[in-house]
């Protein structure tokens, strides 16, 4: 009996490790997919802004202006919208918006 519970614990431990190992890349993929489907038409795949987006006033995510903004400010713009930037509160979960901010920071490198 003792060995059985040990094996169960080991299996549980392995499963947890596997989930933890898979969870973070899956999140990044989600943010990339969301960005691609909802944001590229204005911000471009590289975050520099499409012709349409920049005409509306979107800035290059790698520009000093955007880099100077805090994560909280970027989260705010995505959540509540700003100028021609649509608000995504209610359309995206808070966690999805948080992942998008991280993704945008990655584009700005
Ligand atoms: C219809 C075009 C459009 C779409 C779609 C759009 N944006 Fe924007 N976004 C803008 C514009 C225009 C601004 C500039 C707003 C301002 O400063 O007046 C902006 C601003 C931003 C900013 C602040 C930095 C900046 O450029 O001033 C962030 C961050 C941002 N958008 C993220 C996103 C994300 C993430 C998505 C997808 C979920 C998205 N946007 C979808 C047009 C768009």
- What does the H/E/C string look like for 33-72? HHHHHHCHHHHCCCCCCCHHHHHHCCCCCCCHHHHHCCHH
Q: In whole angstroms, what is the distance from residue 47 CA to residue 76 CA?
A: 18
Average pLDDT score over residue span 85-104: 97
pLDDT, tens digit, 9 for 90 and up, residues 36-85: 999 999 999 999 999 999 999 999 999 999 999 999 999 999 999 999 99
Q: How confident is the model at residue 20 (pLDDT cuts 50, 70, 90)?
A: low
CA of 28 to the centre of ligand 1 (A): 19
Burial class (CB in 10 A: 0-12, 13-18, 19+), 53: buried
Average pLDDT score over residue span 29-34: 93
CA of 84 to the centre of ligand 1 (A): 8
Given a cut of 80, whether residue 99 has pLDDT beyond it is yes
Binding pocket residue ranges, ligand 1, CB within 6 Å: 38-39, 41-43, 53, 56-59, 66, 74, 77-78, 82-86, 88, 100, 104
Domains and CATH numbers, the chain: 25-107 (1.10.760.10)
pLDDT, tens digit, 9 for 90 and up, residues 61-71: 999 999 999 99
């Amino acid at each position: 009996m003792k060995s059985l519970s040990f094996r169960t614990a080991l299996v549980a431990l392995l499963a947890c490790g596997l989930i933890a190992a898979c969870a973070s890349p899956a999140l990044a993929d989600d943010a990339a997919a969301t960005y691609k489907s909802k944001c590229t038409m204005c911000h471009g795949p590289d975050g520099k802004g499409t012709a349409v987006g920049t005409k509306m006033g979107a800035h290059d995510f790698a520009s000093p202006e955007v880099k100077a903004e805090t994560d909280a400010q970027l989260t705010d713009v995505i959540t509540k919208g700003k100028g021609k930037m649509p608000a995504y509160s209610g359309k995206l979960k808070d966690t999805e918006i948080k992942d998008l901010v991280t993704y945008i920071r990655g584009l700005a490198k």
